[in-house]
Amino acid sequence: MRALRADGFPEAEVRSRARTGAAAAFPPGADYGTTLFGGAATSGCPAADPLDLARLVPPVFMPRRLEKLIDLGREPLYHDVDLGTDVGGLRSPLPVYVSAFGSTMAASADVGESVSRQAGRLGLPMVIGENVVALGGYGRTDDAPERSMLRRLRAYAEALPDGLGGVAVQQSTEDADAEVWNLVYSDPSALPLLDSGRLAFELKVGQGAKPGIGGMTMVDRDSAVLLRGRYPLEAVHGTGELLRSSSPGTYTEEILRQQIRLMRNNFPRARVWVKLPPARDVAAAAAIAWQAGADAVTVDGAEGGTGWAPSAFLDHVGLPLGECLLRIGHRGDGLLASGRMWEGTRCVKALALGCRAVGLGRAALLAADEDRAAGLERFVRCLELELKLLTSALGRYTPADLTPEDVWFPRAFDGRSPVAHLDHDAAPRP
Amino acid sequence: MTTIQLASDATAAPPGLRTHLSAPRTRCAVAIQQAILQAARELLVGEGFTELLAPVIGPVTDPGARGSKQVDIDYYGHRYKLMTSAILYKQASLLSFGRIFYIAPNVRLEPLETANTDRHLTEFHQIDVEIADASRDEAMAVMQAVVTHAVRRVLDHTADHLDQLGRDRSALTELLDGPFERISHSAAVRRLHDLGHPQDPAAEIDWAGERLLSAGARRPFFITDYPKGSRGFYDRESTTEPGSLRNFDLIAAEGYGELSSGSEREFEYRRLVARMRETGENPAKYGWYLDLVRDGIPASSGFGIGVQRLTRYFAGLDAVWQASMFPKLPGVVSA
């Protein structure tokens, strides 16, 4: 019998914490490995993102369309849009790449390989996540087991057309122990990508779903034995599985600058990408990354993420992607963005606000899960059509021509207009 | 498995093992190498250095080798490494002796592109020196003394071998004409830009650039003050010129390229931890080293001279593998 009631108070949540302790800080343990997390995973509604509130606004007068008309000698149509894009030094047929997935079982099984194969066929650049080697092995001397980095690389590279795509291999602070970049850079399997300029290394400074903390996975007792001493392990769920946490690493301006310089120094033939979390100083960090020579800066909005994260972080920590893009501004540098990307309008808004390309995370996994053979390819064809329709509607014929004036924000958003030049009456942004 | 193709213009391609081991060229090279090692030991011991036996494995090793992979070994379930260099152990050894050296074996799985540089081996040896409370200038002086003492001995004791190899002895006697020139990294970059070589000013002198500078020199020379971001965390950052390292490389003449690297060392705990992060390292894995550093290790300077590279230079060999009995080239499976 319960002695107390607390109407209007989240009584059930409090009682859940009282029953299960630390496990209640996470989504239900039974969902691990089969559910993709990320913003709104537990609350059901995403935090307000300027991108969701914004609209794409075609003009009447279109000087670019006139240029295209002159070029073609006929009225241009949406299929005249050329979506080919340089994505951080890698050539892509669309302003789209496949993001790294979390290291949960959901991203580690055959879905990961299916995504790799389809992304390769499409010629889309693909990021291989930080934990693939740490948890699945490299696969060089252990017969390329299912989850290994090598298996992903092979599945991708075998299907890749000439002159397109490429792989960005992530490394975070704790992966430095496994020397993932050194391994790939000196491995014969990666040589064709390196020789054709299609290998990049991505420094993972942080991630969208858990800004400020490192990667997390649930591991069984057998795996835990192998990881003990290298990662902190905690039995939060009391189910026999352990929470493996890693550190995001400590950064100052100088640490970030020098790490990027060292990447360029040590891997002169690889492209250098830097992945930033949706942090309040994301603009300063991006500026330092570019200044130090990064070919691309990836920003993962707080809506992003596929992996395991504490519920508190999913909806209440980190800037929404739109705010990150507004803070960074339209700079013409190699800015990439990910976070809830799955349909054309969000992608085009992000491109108009300064991104060179957008990353598919959960969408790519779900599409491949729907049909291992061709789900991602069909999904991307649909996205391609939307991108062409929307871009041409704005009187643009390449993604690089999109500008912030193609996006309109409601005046009332957050008490200020995020795009000053569209709102001359608004108070200046702080 | 991918097979690595060595360049067809072929100094790069070793012959079969039997041919290599029984070649007069190999015997001459090893005889010259022996003279170098004898001279190094003679000079260093005479200067009060203690020769130590080099560690071969450890939980961590030198992470400062550009782009090369360390060799992992399973040490009772723990990941250990073969030494890429024993720099961390050299610093620690100064708690016992103030002046130490090793003739140390090192293994680095170099990037495959280095298979054709004529100057990379994955298994090689260094004359590895560390001096407590010494400045960079003192370390550079010791390095030059080792090199010039070695060249004297090679000229005095292995002249027949040099002649047999067709080595121009006058090129070596020039080494004895006073101190080696010094240029700063930024001056070297300017020189390369003047030569039309696109050297990144924030990075290590690349292999092609190093060959260009070396080819234009008649005597070995030092390059000093490399930028931070081009070397490992243990090269000390200047306190008066932040961003510049108190380090040096010795570059051979005649296109033979880099022979040796050295520096003043970081030895203070806070600075070392920050520098580890700047080089992308996880301080946690350097536990034993940082424990010692936290309680204090001596300030020092030191260097490592590549034995096979110095042998190649003195002997005038086309490629560094010719200075090794059992050469291991990047990516190539061999004895």
**Nearest CA to B255 among B295, B301, B220?**
B220
What pLDDT score was predicted for residue A146? 60
Per-residue model confidence (pLDDT) at position A421 = 43
Interface mutation vs chain A, best among B273, B279, B332, B333, most A CBs within 10 Å? B279
> What ranges do the domains of chain A cover?
50-213+251-422, 214-247
Residues of A within 8 A of B200 (CB-CB) are 264-265, 268
Taken in order of first residue, the domains within chain B and their CATH numbers are 17-323 (3.30.930.10)
Considering A90-94, A303-307, B4-8, B117-121, the range whose residues carry the highest mean pLDDT is A90-94
Euclidean distance between CA atoms A194 and A191, whole angstroms:
5
Average pLDDT, rounded, for chain B? 93
d(CA B258, CA A60) in angstroms, rounded, equals 64
- Answer yes or no: do B277 and A255 touch at CB < 8 A: yes
**Nearest-CA distance A182 → chain B (Å):** 5
Beta-strand ranges (E) seen in A256-356 are 271-276, 296-300, 335-338
CA distance B156 to A153: 56
Residue of A nearest to B77 (CA): A226
Find all residues with CB under 8 Å of B307, minimum gap 6, and list them. Answer: B33, B36, B37, B103, B124, B125, B126, B127, B323
Query: What does residue A76 show for φ and ψ, rounded to 5 degrees?
Result: -70, 150
Q: Model-level pTM? A: 0.87
Domain covering A50-213+251-422 in this structure, CATH number: 3.20.20.70
Chain B positions touching A261 (Cβ under 8 A) are: 202-203, 227-230
* Residue B195 reports pLDDT greater than 50: yes
% pLDDT > 70, chain A: 81
Query: Residue A255: which of A277, A227, A285 has the closest Cα?
Result: A285
A250:B277 CB<8 A: yes
Residue in the block written with tokens 């000698």 = A73
Contacts for B284 with CB less than 8 Å, ≥ 6 apart:
none
Question: What is d(CA B224, CA B301) in angstroms, rounded to the nearest whole number?
Answer: 14
The single residue listed with the structure tokens 């891997």 is: A267
Of A182, A264, A293, the CB nearest to B68: A182
Q: How far is B242 from chain A (nearest CA, A)?
A: 11
Counted residue by residue, chain A has a size of 430
Task: Please list the pLDDT of chain A residue by residue as tens digits (430 residues).
Answer: 557 777 777 777 777 777 777 777 777 766 666 666 665 555 555 557 889 899 999 999 999 999 999 999 999 999 999 999 999 999 999 999 999 876 555 555 688 888 999 999 999 999 998 666 666 666 666 555 666 777 888 889 999 999 999 999 998 876 677 788 988 898 888 889 999 999 999 999 988 888 888 877 777 777 777 777 677 788 877 777 888 777 888 999 999 999 999 999 999 999 999 999 999 999 999 999 999 999 999 999 887 666 667 888 877 899 999 999 999 997 777 999 999 899 999 999 999 999 999 999 889 988 998 899 999 999 999 999 999 999 999 999 999 999 999 999 987 554 455 444 444 333 333 3
Range 56-115 of B in CB contact (< 8 A) with A? 66-70, 78-79, 109-113
This complex has an ipTM of 0.87
Burial class (CB in 10 A: 0-12, 13-18, 19+), A339: buried
- What confidence tens digit (pLDDT) does each residue in A69-82 have? 999 999 999 999 99
Contact of B228 with chain A, judged by CB distance below 8 Å, is answered with yes
**B112 contacts A259? CB cut-off 8 A:** no
* B279 touching chain A per CB within 8 A: yes
Q: How far is A39 from chain B (nearest CA, A)?
A: 29
The pLDDT of residue B92: 98
> Length of chain B in residues, anyone?
335
Distance CA A298, CA A360 (A): 12
Q: Which of B79, B203, B278 sits opposite A265 (nearest CB)?
A: B203
B280 at interface of A, judged by CB pairs closer than 8 A: yes
d(CA B126, CA A426): 67
Q: Which residue has the tokens 């705990």?
A: B269
- Residue of A176, A191, A266 lying closest to B66 (CB–CB): A266
Query: How many of the other CB atoms lie within 10 Å of CB of B25?
Result: 17
Sequence-separated (6 or more) residues with CB below 8 Å from residue A157: A120, A167, A192, A193
pLDDT value for A414: 47
The neighbour count for residue A264, using CB atoms within 10 Å, is 22
Residues in B closer than 8 angstroms to A291, CB to CB, are: none
All residues of chain B having their beta carbon less than 8 Å from the beta carbon of residue A188 are: 1-4, 112, 331
- What's the gap in Å between the CA of A303 and the closest CA on chain B? 27
B330 inside 8 A of chain A by CB: yes
Q: Residues of chain A whose C-beta is under 8 A from some C-beta in B?
A: 171, 173-174, 176-177, 179, 182-183, 185-186, 188-189, 191, 203, 229, 247, 249-252, 254-255, 257-269, 292-293
